[in-house]
Amino acid sequence: MVKISEILKISPKKQNIVTKGWIKTFRGNRFISINDGSTINNLQCVIDFNSQNQELLKKLTTGTSIKIEGVLVKSIGKGQSIEVMVKKLFIYGESDPENFPIQPKKHSLEFLREKAHLRIRTSTFSSIMRIRSSLSFAIHKFFNDKGFFHVHTPIITGIDAEGAGEMFRVSALEFNKSNFNKKGELKSSNDFFGKETHLTVSGQLEAETLAMGLGNVYTFGPTFRAENSNTSRHLAEFWMIEPEMAFCDLNGNMDLSEEFIKYILKYILLNCIEDLNFLNQRFLNEEKSKPKNERSEMNLIEKINFVIKNKFIRINYDEAIKILKSSKPNKKKKFKFIISEWGTDLQSEHERYLVEKHFKSPVIIYDYPSKIKAFYMRQNDDEKTVRAMDVLFPGIGEIAGGSQREERLEKLQKRMKEMKIDSDELWWYLDLRRFGTVPHSGFGLGFERLILFATGMNNIRDVIPYPRTPQNASF
């Protein structure tokens, strides 16, 4: 059996063809359009209605799975260059035209989220998932070609890597009275691991240990956050790519993030252009429904090319605050969060203003106030800022965040104490600073945020097969 993506490349000379897939449409009792997921394009199959079993033909409806044997010929009709003249037809599974929700018409994304187990049969979702797969491959290729080692860090952990306390508890205890003490706390010492454990929010701290022997490493795994952010940019379960480099400072880190993002976007332009063209058309249709002044100046392909071709702007937090303070939406109180003083955290509206309105380019902001960043970031001599960096993208805001790590034992211990980070639990992390410490850096890129950008979709729930969000863990 040959995949439809391959069949469509063949020059037709009446070759015998066997193909399998799902019916997209059946028109005029003659034209069956089938898709097998290998490409956005369907294969047109033509049947001679009268020569076929009439009972069988009644079963050819959208969603039915079939096998077709026939010969490949040049198509005289519009819309395709080749087609299959059907000789034999076999049905694997009938569909049900009354109840099959994926009909050949436009469905809203909200409706399709309710039917997440079937939405992969639509052109939009199969395109997104093929692009997701290509991006994933490109990520491994990029790091492998650069000599990074792929490492696997634990999913179940006793630490809070970001120190933000937004974690899901992992427990094997029954939630009954006997497992709670008098204060109503779970008796974690009786639990499977003999202590309190959670799903990881980041593999970074363990990746740091591995970089301190392997040099350059990266993780690519699921991460979990119990933050109650019901936005179009947040998932409770998402995938993160986290490179970590020994002997690398913040500048090297910024360089890598930029090179990395450009490489993987270029990869899909070269390898997924049919899916991108389809999503581009979708993007343009969506834009049409927006008021003129809110429409994007570039189409999807132009946006991707723009990122690949232009140098990311790099500014420090001070400069970012100055720009934001004197910006129109700040002065006119159009921002939800008004920037009034140095030290406030940037919200996505501020990040998007800098990227979309002010610079019209991806931006990397670095040297953030230590108060708003995690404990492990390297402290600057000003004693106010740390060597943090956030990569900001149009339509998204923060797509990646990272830092140079604090490699000096005393400075790290002091900061952990100030931030009330449990150093007993992190004794091994401190050991790295005791035995051959080196300057090192890394970042984390949110995979789904990158896919949002690459596909022109608006909601993060539409770029992962089964989104996990507050009040929703269906499928």
Residues lying near Mg ion in the complex (CB under 5 A) are found at: 401
- Rounded Cα distance between 249 and 131, Å, is 32
Lay out the site mask for ligand 4AD across 227-246 (x = CB under 6 A, - = otherwise): -------xx--x-x-x----
User: With respect to ligand 4AD, which residue has the nearer C-beta, 21 or 402?
Assistant: 402
Least separation in angstroms between CB 396 and ligand 4AD: 8
Give CA–CA dist 245/204, Å, rounded: 11
Count the neighbouring beta carbons within 10 Å of the beta carbon of residue 395. Answer: 17
Candidates 54, 464, 70; CA nearest to 34 is 70
- Cβ atoms of residues 5 and 126 within 8 Å: no
| Given 33, 95, 157, 202, the residue binding ligand 4AD (CB under 6 A) | 202
Tell me how far, at minimum, the Cβ of 222 lies from Mg ion, in Å. 17
Residue with the two structure tokens 């211990």: 413
Of 442, 393, 376, 452, whose CA–CA distance to 242 is shortest?
442
Closest residue to ligand 4AD, based on beta-carbon distance: 446
Among 63, 70, 439, 446, binds ligand 4AD (CB under 6 A): 446
Q: Which of positions 154-173 make contact with ligand 4AD (CB under 6 A)?
A: 161-162
Cβ proximity to ligand 4AD, 86 vs 392, nearer residue: 392
Q: Which does 399 bind (CB under 5 to 8 A by kind): Mg ion, ligand 4AD, none?
A: ligand 4AD
For 69, the enclosing helix (H) or strand (E) is: strand 65-74
Minimum distance from CB of 168 to ligand 4AD (Å)? 12
Closest CB 434 distance from ligand 4AD, rounded Å: 22
Instruction: Draw the binding track, 400-419, toward ligand 4AD (x: CB under 6 A; -: no contact).
Output: xxxx----------------
Stretch that binds ligand 4AD, among 76-84, 126-134, 294-302, 445-453 (CB under 6 A): 445-453
Q: Decide if residue 448 touches ligand 4AD (CB under 6 A).
A: yes
CB of 389 within 8 A of CB of 404?
A: no
Helix axes 300-309, 273-288, angle to 10 degrees: 120
Alpha-carbon distance values, 110 to 39, 64, 70, 316, 342 (Å): 24, 24, 39, 39, 40
Q: Residue 322 phi/psi, 5° resolution?
A: -60, -45
Applying CB under 6 A, the residues found at the interface with ligand 4AD are 161-162, 202, 204, 225, 234-235, 238, 240, 242, 398-403, 442-444, 446, 448-449
